[in-house]
Amino acid sequence: MKAFKRHWWKAGLALLILLMGLIYWYLRPYQPSQTALSAMQSTDEITVSEEKRLIRFEPKTPVQPSIIYYPGGLVKPESYATYAKAFAQAGHRVYIVKMPLNLAVFGGDRAQPIIAAKQPDETFLLGGHSLGGVMAARYAAAHASDLEGVFFFASYPDPKGSLVSSNLPVFSVVGSNDGAINMAAFTKAKSDLPSTTEYHTIRGGNHSQFGSYGFQKGDHPAEISAEQQLDETVKLLLDWESAVHPAKQAH
């Protein structure tokens, strides 16, 4: 009898290990590209520092607002270093938030400690890519007074993140070749955004190139380079931010 129990115990343990291995394989995150890893390096003008729950890009002379960035689902946070570095080069402090299991659905409130520890006169834009944008909207809906605006990269809010009554400026950009986003849901979600929301489409851009982690399953090939998509996205967001907050000054 003892040998029988020991046999089934070992079989059960082997099955558990196999199951955990399958879950890890299924949920394995997209890894940052070499370009993204290179963007993680500090320069004379920008200090990159990594903490337990965030990656910070600190310009030598920051301007407002700071940017809090929620990563897409199952994408390592370092994959957004190219975007963070570009915004930091324009003077904005950027916080890329690290999410539990690389899923923002488990860390939607992780903007809170960043905002609570803000520098004097520091203000914030909050947004993200794909699932990150969904969860950023949920946080913004509950904490609108803490934010200067919300942005979506290949993303949209769900009803829990409705921003219609928030009075927050909202920016949204997608790529015309995005195969991962549900465009019917994207269109429907416009009813959860203010009428003043600014929408843009990058011709030839896709879902994956809103980060730097390779090609995402289900996406369509881009017709422009990752660098061009990054440059267009950064310019569009910064132009929008300057238009809605023309009086922001350097600190």
Q: Where are the alpha helices (DSSP H) in 124-225?
A: 131-142, 183-188
Q: Show the low-confidence residues of the chain (pLDDT under 70).
A: 1-27, 247-251
Does 79 lie in the same domain as 140?
yes
The reported pLDDT for the residue numbered 3 is 55
User: For residue 246, what are the CA distances in angstroms to 3, 64, 147, 242?
Assistant: 76, 11, 16, 5
C-alpha–C-alpha distance, residues 81 and 86, integer Å: 8
The reported pLDDT for the residue numbered 130 is 98
State which H helix or E strand residue 35 sits in: helix 34-39
The reported pLDDT for the residue numbered 245 is 87
Q: Is residue 249 part of a domain?
A: no
Is there a contact between 55 and 48 (Cβ–Cβ < 8 Å)?
A: yes
Give me the torsion for CA of 73, 149, 63, 79, rounded to 10°: 10
Q: Is residue 181 part of a domain?
A: yes
Does 167 lie in the same domain as 119?
yes
Q: Is residue 251 part of a domain?
A: no
**Predicted model pTM:** 0.90
How many domains does one find in the chain?
A: 2
Does 170 lie in the same domain as 73?
yes
- Predicted confidence (pLDDT) per residue in 166-203, tens digit: 999 999 999 999 999 999 999 999 999 999 999 999 99
The enclosing domain of 49 has a CATH number of 3.40.50.1820
Does 51 lie in the same domain as 1?
no
Does 22 lie in the same domain as 50?
no
> Quick one: which of 175, 162, 163, 161 has its CA closest to 211?
175
C-alpha–C-alpha distance, residues 148 and 136, integer Å: 13
The parent domain of residue 25 ranges over 1-30
Does 101 lie in the same domain as 12?
no
